[in-house]
């Protein structure tokens, strides 16, 4: 991998962690992602699927517990290392990398909410998910403060409602077909409407839910064009009763919490799709040096070199922006969502453009189903919708300018 951030900027431990991430990406995630891409959505998650082994191996690497306090690293160095790990894993396979990252949502939410008690119950030993979008509320759910909604318009009834009932909360309804890990998750960080029983307008709240509880069922795994190694699907709640203490964030703090969370998820997507863009660039450079036309490797043709440079320039710019945003948001008194969104949009757009250009560099070979480039292009296109459509995120960011 021809990385732009300099290895000499990293200390010995950081360099070793990066190498571990790269090895895991190259030896486990990349071959497994290519294999799962060709299976049906049901086969990907069938009992005995190597997907579960990837989850197990990932846990053993200990990346999920990287914190500046335990690493004796500054916050800036810690987030830079996290960005590097995310890029490395997605360089291997972004569907798997995002499924692994999404799996840690419930314990991460417990940590962010300052609820170590919930953190003990919702651990990263279980496959978790982030259930926020609903069949009738995709962009609406991510636009947590209504900043892009038409003025005075009613968004309509939520598809999932948590109702207070004494010391319990009873959840009824469903989440969308796009919940990552949706049909395999054992736990969920559920973001949904909250009816406190007071008769007033419903707010939104965050709950940690054990999906092994009675009343939970799942839809069919979603069949889609890209990131096929990432399981997605609906979760249905039929009067699922959980303790009121499982409310990690109440309505009064919901908007502030989601703002901070989206700073993290958007920057995380920014880091991951730097890795996807880098993967496409690496393939294109290698192929250009091997494929001969006009008597020489096509790399020797100036126009091919110029195209490769354009791709390289875009990847370098996306990576630099991502690291800058990660570090700023981790060290500034208040993270800025517009910066995190700038990174997500830049990286996913870059990954799609670079993968598309890489397909051009491969010529006819690029359109073959066993060629890695066509998969990267499908994976990257999906990312421009994943965790918020890029245009919607752009509108949300613009509101903050
Ligand atoms: C790979 C992937 C992984 C995902 N993972 C998760 C997950 O883990 N958990 C989860 O809960 N969800 C997840 N999602 C769902 C994702 O967040 C939504 O798909 C996304 O927010 C868009 O919502 P939607 O699909 O309902 O589209 P819609 O909101 O219906 O949007 C359709 C179109 O209308 C436009 N539009 C919508 N509202 C406005 C507006 N106010 N102004 C202007 N234009 C508008 C949009 O830009 C888009 O072009 C995932 C999606 C993908 C693709």
Q: Which of 374, 142, 386, 185 is nearest to 272 (CA)?
A: 386
Check pocket membership of 135 for ligand 1, CB cut-off 6 A: no
Cα distance between residue 321 and residue 343, in whole Å = 6
At residue 68, the pLDDT reads 63
Which residue spans within 6-51 are E strands per DSSP?
none
Q: Which of 351, 272, 375 is nearest to 21 (CA)?
A: 272
Instruction: State in Å: Cα 237 to ligand 1 middle.
Output: 21
Check pocket membership of 234 for ligand 1, CB cut-off 6 A: no
Determine whether domain 128-252 maps to CATH 2.40.110.10: yes
At residue 241, the pLDDT reads 97
Instruction: State in Å: Cα 352 to ligand 1 middle.
Output: 18
Q: What is the DSSP string of 184-206?
A: T-SEEEEEEEEE-SSSS--EEEE
Check pocket membership of 119 for ligand 1, CB cut-off 6 A: no
Check pocket membership of 93 for ligand 1, CB cut-off 6 A: no
Partners of 263 in beta bridges: none
Using one digit for the tens of pLDDT, what is the confidence trace for 83-135? Answer: 999 999 999 999 999 999 999 999 999 999 999 999 999 999 999 999 999 99
Instruction: Convert 75-105 into a string of H (helix), E (strand) and C (coil).
Output: HHHHHHHHHHHHHHHHHHCHHHHHHHHHHCH
Instruction: State in Å: Cα 388 to ligand 1 middle.
Output: 5
Q: Where exactly does CATH 2.40.110.10 map onto the chain? A: 128-252
Check pocket membership of 386 for ligand 1, CB cut-off 6 A: yes
Q: To 10 degrees, the CA torsion angle through 139, 229, 218, 136?
A: 10
Check pocket membership of 138 for ligand 1, CB cut-off 6 A: yes
Where does the pLDDT of residue 148 fall: very low under 50, low under 70, confident under 90, or very high at 90 and above? Answer: confident
In the predicted structure, residue 3 carries a pLDDT above the cut 70: no
Which of residues 148 and 21 earns the better pLDDT score?
A: 21
Check pocket membership of 180 for ligand 1, CB cut-off 6 A: yes
Q: What is the mean pLDDT of residues 262-285?
A: 98
Ligand 1 atom 15: residue of nearest CA: 178
* Whole-Å CA distances, 244 to 124, 131, 166, 174, 250: 22, 18, 8, 19, 10
Check pocket membership of 320 for ligand 1, CB cut-off 6 A: no
Q: Which of 178, 230, 179 is nearest to 209 (CA)?
A: 179
Q: What is the DSSP string of 286-309?
A: HHHHH-EETTEEGGGSHHHHHHHH
At residue 9, the pLDDT reads 72
Instruction: State in Å: Cα 140 to ligand 1 middle.
Output: 8
Give CATH superfamily name and number for 7-103. Acyl-CoA dehydrogenase/oxidase, N-terminal domain (1.10.540.10)
Q: Where exactly does CATH 1.10.540.10 map onto the chain? A: 7-103
Q: Which of 10, 116, 96 is nearest to 53 (CA)?
A: 96
At residue 6, the pLDDT reads 57
In the predicted structure, residue 36 carries a pLDDT above the cut 50: yes
Helix, strand, or coil (residue 207): strand
Count of beta carbons in the 10 Å neighbourhood of residue 321: 19
C-alpha Rg value of the chain to the nearest Å: 21
At residue 2, the pLDDT reads 45
Helix, strand, or coil (residue 58): helix
Check pocket membership of 132 for ligand 1, CB cut-off 6 A: yes
* Whole-Å CA distances, 176 to 82, 210, 236: 29, 18, 9
In the predicted structure, residue 138 carries a pLDDT above the cut 80: yes
In the predicted structure, residue 13 carries a pLDDT above the cut 60: yes
Ligand 1 atom 2: residue of nearest CA: 386
Using one digit for the tens of pLDDT, what is the confidence trace for 311-362? Answer: 999 999 999 999 999 999 999 999 999 999 999 999 999 999 999 999 999 9
Closest atom of ligand 1 relative to the 181 alpha carbon: 8
Q: Where exactly does CATH 1.20.140.10 map onto the chain? A: 254-399
Using one digit for the tens of pLDDT, what is the confidence trace for 181-224? Answer: 999 999 999 999 999 999 889 999 999 999 998 899 999 999 99
The pTM for the full model equals 0.95
Using one digit for the tens of pLDDT, what is the confidence trace for 368-397? Answer: 988 999 999 999 999 999 999 999 999 999
Instruction: State in Å: Cα 73 to ligand 1 middle.
Output: 36
Look at the alpha carbons of 117, 123, 126, 132 in this order and tell me if their dihedral is positive or negative: positive
Q: What percent of the chain has pLDDT over 90?
A: 86
Check pocket membership of 329 for ligand 1, CB cut-off 6 A: no
Closest atom of ligand 1 relative to the 150 alpha carbon: 41
Cα distance between residue 122 and residue 210, in whole Å = 8
Ligand 1 atom 1: residue of nearest CA: 386
- 254-399 sits in which CATH class? mainly alpha
Which residue spans within 213-307 are E strands per DSSP?
216-218, 235-243, 247-249, 292-293, 296-297
Partners of 134 in beta bridges: 137
Where does the pLDDT of residue 170 fall: very low under 50, low under 70, confident under 90, or very high at 90 and above? Answer: very high
């Amino acid at each position: 991998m021809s990385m732009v951030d300099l290895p000499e900027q990293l200390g010995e431990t950081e360099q070793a962690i990066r190498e571990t991430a790269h090895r895991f990406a190259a030896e486990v995630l990349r071959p497994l992602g290519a294999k799962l891409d060709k299976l049906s959505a049901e086969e990907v998650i069938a009992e005995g699927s190597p997907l579960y082994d990837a989850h197990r191996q990932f846990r053993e690497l200990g990346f999920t517990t990287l914190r500046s306090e335990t690493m004796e690293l500054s916050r800036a160095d810690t987030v830079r290392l996290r960005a590097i790990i995310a890029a490395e894993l997605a360089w291997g396979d972004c569907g798997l990398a995002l499924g692994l990252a999404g799996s840690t949502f419930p314990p991460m939410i417990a940590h962010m909410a300052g609820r170590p008690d919930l953190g003990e119950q919702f651990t990263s030993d279980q496959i978790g998910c982030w259930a926020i979008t609903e069949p009738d509320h995709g962009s609406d759910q991510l636009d947590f403060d209504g900043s892009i909604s038409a003025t005075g318009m009613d968004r309509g009834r939520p598809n999932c409602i948590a109702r207070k009932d004494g010391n319990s909360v009873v959840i009824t309804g469903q989440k969308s077909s796009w919940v990552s890990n949706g049909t395999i998750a054992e736990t969920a960080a559920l973001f949904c409407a909250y009816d406190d029983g007071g008769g007033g307008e419903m707010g939104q709240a965050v709950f940690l839910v054990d999906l092994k509880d009675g009343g939970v069922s799942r839809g069919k795994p979603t069949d889609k064009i890209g990131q096929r190694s990432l399981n997605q699907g609906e979760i249905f709640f039929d009067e699922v009763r959980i303790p009121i203490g499982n409310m990690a964030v109440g309505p009064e703090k919901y908007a502030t919490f989601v703002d901070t969370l989206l700073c993290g998820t958007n920057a995380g997507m920014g880091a991951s799709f730097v890795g996807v863009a880098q993967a496409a660039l690496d393939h294109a450079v290698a192929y250009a040096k091997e494929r001969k036309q006009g008597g020489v490797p096509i790399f020797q043709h100036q126009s091919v070199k110029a195209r490769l440079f354009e791709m390289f320039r875009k990847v370098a710019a996306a990576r630099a922006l991502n690291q800058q945003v990660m570090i700023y948001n981790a060290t500034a008194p208040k993270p800025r969502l517009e910066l995190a969104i700038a990174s997500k949009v830049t990286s996913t757009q870059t990954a799609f453009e670079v993968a598309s250009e890489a397909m051009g560099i491969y010529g006819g070979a690029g359109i073959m189903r066993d060629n890695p480039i066509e998969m990267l292009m499908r994976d990257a296109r999906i990312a421009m919708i994943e965790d918020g459509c890029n245009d919607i995120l752009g509108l949300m960011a613009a509101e903050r300018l």
